[in-house]
Amino acid sequence: MSARVKIRRRRRTKIIATLGPASSTPEVLARLFQGGADVFRLNFSHGSHDDHYARIAMIRDLEEKFDRPIGILADVQGPKLRVGRFQAGRVQLQTGQKFQLDLNPTPGDVTRVNLPHPEIIAAASIGTSLLLDDGKLRLRVVRVRDDHLETEVTVGGPLSDRKGVNVPDMVLPIPALTPKDREDLAFALEHGADYIGLSFVQRPEDVAEAKDIAAGRAWIMTKMEKPQALDNLDAILALSDAVMVARGDLGVELPPEEVPLAQKRIVRAARQMGRPVVVATQMLESMISAPAPTRAEASDVATAVFDGADAVMLSAETAAGQYPYEAVNIMDRIVARVEQDPGWRQTIETSRPAPERSAADAISAAARQVAHTIGASAICAFTASGSTALRVARERPEAPIIGLTPAAETARRLALVWGVHAVVTPETHSMTETVTKATRISLQEGFSGHDTEVVVIAGVPFGQPGTTNALRVAHVK
């Protein structure tokens, strides 16, 4: 039995693991992959380009060793808004006191601090809320001047140097890509990242800019972490290749009771448009320092699976935690167990979006229905760009999806997509050759046994992207 068959996933929902100090050796990386990680995330908020280059090299070595495509998500930092420094390094703000935010670079005290973002001062108005240190402190603007804001502390607490500022009430005239992001993006594209995580998106134009830079070399994954992005959800999704429910910053800027509803809304909209959707942040947070998750965390992962997310993501759990392998392993077990439950399949069936009015959608919907009716062992989707496999995945079929593609970069991107087992194989030139290859690979990869049937979909003429228009039922001999 080949190494590929040994690590074939027994679940549809994929797992993303973030790399960091706790997971940057070939041995740990291999354990994470074997334990269930389908895609590895590189967080460009931390580490040097040399660090990320070394991790990319290890991932590609691992890919070659196991002969399986592995996706790489390069997550750029985005525009981080921060206050300046304090004379004593930190102050204690009291609820009800006045506090000034200004453009003066002099270290602050208990009455004021530098806010090196004139765009915030320009956009603010009386009543605007400012959240500091991941929302632990809250200020309300009471007076606006050209060079400073006078605020009242509505929730006090300790505030130290360079803590973050969130502005949930306003759209800021700042790009989603900073000069640092542009350097990181160029590096990630040069070294073969498959997805670019785009942080702090506010407007569709932010996504369009990143797509222009990527120019098809990677898929753009928009991170939904700003209320302003939710106001433009459909337009942003239309431009995005994938989307992430980034609940960390989203949970800072939205009231806690709104975050679960936002998650469901984003997942539902992404599934409707056929965009891969990831649920991320604090999924197994306690496993940073504990060998097992809380029951609430297990339920959180299960909820994302029931919602129909393409993937769930681990952040600090695998990047800096004490139990990176255990975190991946238990997430794999939770996902697999949920997908064995009859209630999960029933939920997926009732939440399936209607097919769009296109030949590709009609063929994909028919493939799911035919596979269900005949009990097919797999749906084999031949795809150059990945769009055919995405359309089949949108249907959430019972049968496993084998994504057959001549492009290694497409196979790596499909590593993130629900239910898709991607295989790199040379292009076919006729339907007979396509069917023969589909049955052979389905057998080799362990999806089909002898005397079973598979559903094959492809585009005619062959080699022309976006022409999914043919369906065949084939017998595996």
pLDDT at 463 over 80: no
Q: Span 449-453, mean pLDDT?
A: 96
How far is CA 298 from its chain centroid?
Answer: 19
Which run of H or E residues covers position 189?
helix 179-190
Query: What sign does the CA torsion over 406, 409, 412, 413 have?
Result: negative
> Where on the phi/psi map is residue 463: left (φ > 0), alpha (ψ -120 to 50), or beta?
left
Quote the CA–CA distance of 175 and 152 in Å, as a whole number: 29
CATH number for domain 3-78+176-339, candidates 2.60.120.10, 3.20.20.60, 2.20.25.160, 3.40.50.150: 3.20.20.60
Indicate the average pLDDT of the chain. Answer: 95
DSSP state of 193: -
Q: Which of 427, 437, 310, 466 is nearest to 378 (CA)?
A: 437
pLDDT at 4 over 60: no
The set of catalytic residues is 41, 82, 223, 281
Assign 468 to helix, strand or coil.
strand
The pLDDT value recorded for residue 459 is 87
CATH fold for the domain made of 90-166? M1 Pyruvate Kinase; Domain 3 (2.40.33)
The pLDDT value recorded for residue 3 is 41
Strands 378-382 vs 401-405: parallel, antiparallel or unpaired: parallel
Domain ranges of the chain: 3-78+176-339, 90-166, 359-476
Q: What is the pLDDT of residues 293-337, one digit of tens each?
A: 999 999 999 999 999 999 999 999 999 999 999 999 999 999 999
What dotted CATH number matches 359-476?
Answer: 3.40.1380.20
The pLDDT value recorded for residue 5 is 41
Q: What is the pLDDT of residues 265-279, one digit of tens each?
A: 999 999 999 999 999
The pLDDT value recorded for residue 1 is 36
Q: Which of 271, 279, 221 is nearest to 246 (CA)?
A: 279
| The two structure tokens encoding residue 386 | 């990945």
pLDDT at 343 over 50: yes
The pLDDT value recorded for residue 6 is 57
pLDDT at 128 over 70: yes
Alpha helices in 135-258 (DSSP H): 179-190, 204-214, 227-231, 233-239, 247-253
Which run of H or E residues covers position 131?
strand 129-132
Q: What is the pLDDT of residues 215-229, one digit of tens each?
A: 999 999 999 999 999
Q: What is the pLDDT of residues 72-127, one digit of tens each?
A: 999 999 998 999 999 999 999 999 999 999 999 999 999 999 999 999 999 999 99
Quote the CA–CA distance of 282 and 317 in Å, as a whole number: 8
The pLDDT value recorded for residue 334 is 98
pTM for the model stands at: 0.94
